[in-house]
């Protein structure tokens, strides 16, 4: 698991974080309480709602209707290529947005990111009695915010009018204004009631969207393959006759290129709104988990709904079809959809009515989203001081009421759209929306590049981000350049065949408005740019990197703590300890003098060589350190990682005593000492001495200031290797019982000494030459003698993490380790991970499916945990012993009973390690295998041991995890 430091939590916080270092998964979210409850949004979106919003976000008239325009102008190949290229653009926009939002989610929408990152400033108006400075970031935020607001405010009446026109498919005698009013009341009511009402309504509407689109895609495929009533099999015939590329405005090659570019513009319109899920990030609980998952959904949506949807359409409808050419000039209705034309070509008579009804759902869903995004954008603008403060007001349910009202005013444009002339004028406004949408993408990408610039200037490693998009920042530069090209050449048809002023204004006025907003605000507010190293990457960040007190302790006395924890040598007399010498030191062990002490501060007796009289303290420590280093001889190189270099060695006095010498590299981020997780590992290894826990022989400092740990040599790799090698290693119930006994005794000993391991997994169970299994990697270990101590919930590798931690428990005991032991037990029996969740949400789903859904009946108090949410799926019962016997029968009835007790949902009912050792399973047949007779793997084991030791304590080898998942822990392929 990845390590990160943690900042000091605000004083007003109810909880006090545990000291030390947590993994990246252990980043703790801060739900800051506002001074005014009527000026804050509510984080009440459920993960399933955010995921559905990400999947179905922008699917609407642009895809279901607009693709017909692109197909008629550019042909099938141009349309498909354009959607693939533009889809890659959108994907990089979304991954850029995901990196920013997962690192620091905010309730200000996209302009909130622009305020913070486009220029390295704090992003808000700084007032003083002398001057008022508004940073350039606010200029960009001002332009981006209003640009985004108008994008959705203008398209709102268009969608409502489209809904009315769709109704006219059945009732042409009714005026469109009637339906504009009806649907306006509907979507406004949904947005006024509650954030949850919008989320739930959009979840239902989006589900219908997806079902409809999948249906029409399958229908197109059936039509092209000859399954429709017309019985004409065409396949890719339309790609050759009339052809793959259509000519547009000009004949020949130029015409085909113009047709392709028309498809690019049309693809931009179809993808507009894909980024809308970002507006919900500020109202999403546990954004560190939900946001990356929602962003990843974008790639699959682009590939499936857009690209495959366009491909199936191009197979079913030729670009020169008379109804297609005529439909692209008609009003918005089902008749204008190329999918309806495909059904007509196939002779299907019923589906057009169904598609028309579903198209109604499309536009109502889009109108619903338009109000939501517009209102949140106004709230964000007001929070930055770019809009009247009245838009900051929210109801007790977190609804920005005045923002909803202001956005709803634009519904009146829908009544203007009733007349034919108004409809033509409004068509130009739709084109304007496309330009505004592309400008929004430019704003997001520019914000992201500013964000990366600030990270680089402040020395923040990208590996610290909860989500990292592929190919970034190069993908952002590519997407930015392509979007600029599309905007610049968007209006080429205004010059062909002759200049059309109306088209020109429609295509380029958005750019003018955007630039006027930027430079006008800059001129009025006299803004100044701030340096990258002054960008605020801390305020409001939902990550606690380390308590300030702990950070100061490590900065000032890190070497002293390390010395106290691990060195049995440094126990000089008081006279020597009081001596001071102002001189440079070359070794981490020379920084301070201390008696050895345990975790609770109790001194331990040590034996130290008597120092020479009058010897300076620094020279004394250097002499003792050199003497310790000279005890060992380094032989062959075993392996190297980013954290350590591992060699094999032996003791000079006893060459047969083989050891592993692990040299921890000096880390730049800890210039005053070693990494705190290394200190933690050393401390616990010094305190714990047990046959089933890896032994720390000694520690000394090298000439290069690297700390060298002398560990017992374990040449047979780890338990994970044996589990994975199903073809080469065969083991049975007796072997499993032997390994489980060793693991249980190690965990019992840790708990008896009030130490939680917090990362038990097969990868951390190393095998000695005599077959003994030893527990290693104490980088996440923690003392738990104080029952009132608050600890992080985000430890233990995900597949072995208990449900109480997944639900955010902050007070826990040895039950968390026992759950991990149970997962290892199950993995030994199955020879593959028992609960291999892809993320925290998936992990909980697997636990519920396999071991039952947590309720107040089987787990009293579970609903009070910080991150508990009631399961949306039907509750799964706790499995019976008979059901578990089917899956784990090879362990025997007693073994299954023990397994079920280790995997009990309620941690208070879960068996303890001490009780495990008294279970009758150990005394039943078969008896445990002797350690000397246990299966062993020699090939590659030494390299695996080296890799285990070279990685940082508490770190997950992601590459190895991916390999294990790919191989399913089975035979190598």
Map tokens 């610049």 to a residue: 488
Q: Is 69 annotated as a binding residue?
A: no
Strand pairing class (696-701; 658-664): unpaired
Q: Is 644 annotated as a binding residue?
A: yes
- Phi and psi at residue 135, in whole multiples of 5°? -70, 160
Q: What tokens does 776 get? A: 């290693």
16 counts as catalytic: no
Residues contacting 164, CB < 8 A, separation 6+: 176, 177, 178, 179, 180, 183, 414
Residue 922 is classified by DSSP as G
For 224, counting Cβ atoms within 10 Å of its Cβ (0-12 exposed, 13-18 middle, 19+ buried), the class is: buried
Distances (CA, A) of 388 to 137, 384, 524: 19, 10, 17
Q: Is 91 annotated as a binding residue?
A: no
Distances (CA, A) of 423 to 163, 172, 179, 962: 14, 17, 16, 55
Q: Is 26 annotated as a binding residue?
A: no
For 240, counting Cβ atoms within 10 Å of its Cβ (0-12 exposed, 13-18 middle, 19+ buried), the class is: exposed
Residue 233 is classified by DSSP as B
**What is the biggest distance separating any 2 CA atoms in the chain, rounded to whole angstroms?**
110
**CA torsion through residues 446, 449, 455, 460, sign:** positive
Residues contacting 614, CB < 8 A, separation 6+: none
Residues contacting 91, CB < 8 A, separation 6+: 298, 299, 302, 475
Q: Is 639 annotated as a binding residue?
A: yes
- Phi and psi at residue 225, in whole multiples of 5°? -95, 5
Angle between helices 351-383 and 401-408 (to 10 degrees): 130
- HSE-CB of 916 using CA atoms within 13 angstroms: 33
Residues contacting 394, CB < 8 A, separation 6+: 38, 39, 40, 41, 42, 379, 400, 401
Work out the angle at residue 351's Cα, subtended by the Cα atoms of residues 347 and 356, and round it to the nearest 5 degrees. 130
Helices within 691-752 (DSSP H only)? 719-724, 733-752
Nearest one of 78, 65, 60 to 155, comparing CA atoms: 60
Query: Nearest 10 degrees: CA dihedral of 851, 857, 860, 862?
Result: 50
Map tokens 């006759």 to a residue: 241
d(C-alpha 491, C-alpha 690), whole Å: 76
276, 57 in Cβ contact below 8 A?
yes
d(C-alpha 804, C-alpha 868), whole Å: 9
Residues contacting 547, CB < 8 A, separation 6+: 6, 7, 8, 9, 16, 17, 19
Of 119, 370, 536, 759, which is the active-site residue? 759
Question: How many C-beta atoms lie closer than 10 Å to residue 488's C-beta?
Answer: 11
Phi/psi zone of residue 9: left (φ > 0), alpha (ψ -120 to 50 degrees), beta? beta
Q: Is 641 annotated as a binding residue?
A: yes
What is the C-alpha radius of gyration for the chain, rounded to an integer number of angstroms? 33
Map tokens 């498919």 to a residue: 169
Q: Is 645 annotated as a binding residue?
A: yes
d(C-alpha 59, C-alpha 339), whole Å: 14
Give the rounded distance of the alpha carbon of 800 from its chain centre: 19
**CA torsion through residues 526, 529, 534, 540, sign:** positive
- Phi and psi at residue 654, in whole multiples of 5°? -145, 85
List active site positions: 759
Numbered residues of the known binding site = 638-646, 662
Numbered residues of the known binding site for ATP = 638-646, 662
């Amino acid at each position: 698991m990845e390590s990160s430091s943690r900042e000091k939590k605000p004083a007003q916080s109810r909880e006090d974080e545990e000291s030390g270092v947590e993994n990246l998964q252990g980043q703790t979210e801060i739900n800051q309480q506002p001074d005014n409850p009527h000026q804050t949004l509510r984080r009440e979106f459920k993960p399933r709602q955010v995921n559905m919003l990400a999947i179905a976000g922008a699917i609407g008239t642009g895809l279901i209707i607009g693709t017909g325009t692109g197909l008629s102008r550019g042909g099938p190949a141009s349309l498909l290529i354009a959607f693939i290229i533009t889809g890659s653009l959108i994907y990089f926009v979304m991954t850029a947005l995901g990196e920013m939002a997962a690192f620091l989610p905010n309730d200000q929408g996209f302009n909130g990111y622009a305020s913070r990152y486009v220029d390295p400033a704090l992003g808000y108006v700084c007032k003083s009695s002398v001057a008022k400075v508004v940073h350039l970031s606010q200029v960009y935020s001002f332009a981006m915010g209003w640009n985004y607001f108008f994008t959705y405010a203008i398209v709102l009446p268009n969608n409502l009018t489209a809904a009315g026109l769709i109704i006219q498919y059945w009732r042409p005698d009714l005026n469109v204004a009637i339906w504009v009013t009806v649907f306006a009341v509907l979507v406004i009511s949904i947005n006024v009631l509650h954030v949850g009402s919008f989320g739930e309504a959009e979840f239902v509407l989006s589900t219908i969207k997806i079902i409809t689109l999948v249906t029409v895609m399958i229908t197109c495929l059936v039509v092209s393959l000859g399954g429709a009533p017309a019985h004409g099999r065409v396949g890719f015939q339309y790609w050759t006759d009339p052809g793959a590329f259509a000519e547009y405005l000009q004949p020949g090659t130029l015409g085909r290129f113009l047709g392709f570019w028309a498809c690019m513009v049309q693809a931009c319109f179809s993808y507009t709104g894909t980024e809308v899920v970002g507006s919900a990030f500020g109202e999403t609980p546990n954004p560190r988990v939900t946001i990356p998952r929602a962003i990843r959904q974008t790639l699959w949506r682009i590939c499936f709904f857009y690209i495959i949807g366009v491909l199936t359409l191009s197979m079913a409808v030729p670009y020169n079809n008379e109804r297609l050419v005529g439909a692209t000039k008609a009003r918005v209705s089902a008749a204008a959809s190329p999918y309806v034309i495909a059904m007509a070509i196939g002779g299907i008579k019923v589906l057009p009515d169904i598609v028309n009804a579903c198209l109604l759902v499309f536009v109502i869903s889009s109108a619903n989203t338009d109000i939501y995004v517009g209102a949140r954008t106004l709230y964000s603008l007001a929070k930055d001081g770019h809009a009247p403060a009245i838009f900051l007001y929210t109801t007790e349910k977190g609804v920005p009421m005045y923002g909803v009202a202001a956005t709803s005013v634009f519904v009146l444009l829908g009544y203007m759209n009733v007349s034919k002339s108004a409809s033509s004028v409004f068509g130009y406004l739709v084109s304007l929306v496309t330009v505004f949408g592309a400008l929004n993408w430019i704003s997001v990408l520019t914000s992201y590049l500013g964000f990366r610039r600030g990270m680089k200037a402040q020395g923040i490693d990208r590996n610290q981000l909860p989500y990292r998009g592929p190919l970034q920042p190069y993908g952002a530069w590519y997407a930015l350049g392509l979007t600029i090209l599309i905007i610049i050449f968007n209006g080429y048809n205004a010059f062909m065949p002759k200049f059309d002023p109306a088209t020109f204004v429609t295509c380029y006025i958005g750019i003018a408005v955007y630039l006027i907003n930027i430079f006008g605000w800059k001129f009025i507010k006299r803004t100044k740019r701030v340096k990258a190293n002054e960008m605020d990457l801390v305020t409001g960040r939902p990550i606690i990197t380390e308590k300030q007190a702990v950070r100061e302790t490590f900065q000032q006395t890190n070497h002293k703590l390390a010395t106290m924890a691990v060195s049995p040598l440094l126990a000089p007399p008081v006279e020597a300890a009081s001596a001071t010498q102002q001189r440079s030191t070359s070794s981490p062990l020379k920084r301070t003098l201390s008696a050895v002490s345990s975790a609770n501060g109790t001194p331990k007796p040590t034996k130290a060589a008597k120092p020479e009289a009058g010897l300076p303290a620094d020279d004394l420590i250097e002499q003792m350190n050199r003497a310790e280093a000279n005890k060992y001889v380094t032989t062959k190189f075993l392996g190297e990682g980013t954290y350590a270099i591992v060699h094999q060695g032996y003791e000079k006095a006893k060459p047969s005593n083989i050891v592993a010498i692990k040299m921890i590299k000096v880390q730049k981020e800890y210039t005053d000492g070693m990494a705190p997780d290394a200190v933690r590992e050393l401390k616990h290894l010094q305190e714990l001495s047990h046959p089933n826990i890896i032994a720390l022989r000694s520690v000394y400092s090298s000439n290069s200031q690297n700390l060298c740990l002398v560990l017992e040599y374990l040449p047979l790799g780890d338990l994970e290797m044996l589990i994975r090698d199903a073809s080469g290693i065969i083991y049975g119930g007796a072997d499993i019982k032997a390994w489980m006994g060793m693991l249980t005794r190690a965990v019992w000993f840790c708990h008896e000494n009030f130490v939680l391991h917090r990362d038990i997994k097969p990868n951390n169970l190393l095998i000695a030459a005599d077959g003994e299994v030893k527990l290693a990697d104490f980088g996440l270990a923690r003392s738990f003698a104080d029952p009132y101590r608050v600890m992080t919930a985000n430890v233990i590798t995900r597949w072995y993490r208990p449900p109480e931690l997944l639900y955010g428990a902050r007070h826990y005991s040895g039950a968390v380790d026992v759950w991990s032991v149970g997962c290892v037990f199950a993995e030994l029996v199955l020879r593959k991970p028992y609960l291999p969740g892809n993320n925290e949400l998936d992990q909980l789903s697997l636990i519920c499916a396999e071991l039952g859904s947590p309720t107040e009946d089987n787990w009293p108090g579970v609903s009070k945990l910080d991150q508990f949410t009631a399961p949306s799926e039907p509750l799964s019962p706790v499995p019976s012993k008979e059901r578990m016997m089917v899956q784990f029968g090879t362990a025997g009835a007693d073994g299954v009973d023990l397994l079920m007790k280790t995997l009990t949902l309620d941690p208070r009912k879960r068996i303890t390690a001490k009780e495990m050792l008294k279970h009758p399973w150990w005394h039943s047949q078969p008896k445990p295998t002797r350690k000397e007779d246990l299966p062993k793997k020699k090939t590659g084991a030494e390299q695996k041991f080296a890799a285990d030791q070279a990685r940082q304590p508490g770190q997950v080898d992601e590459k190895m995890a991916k390999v294990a998942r790919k191989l399913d822990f089975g035979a190598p392929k």
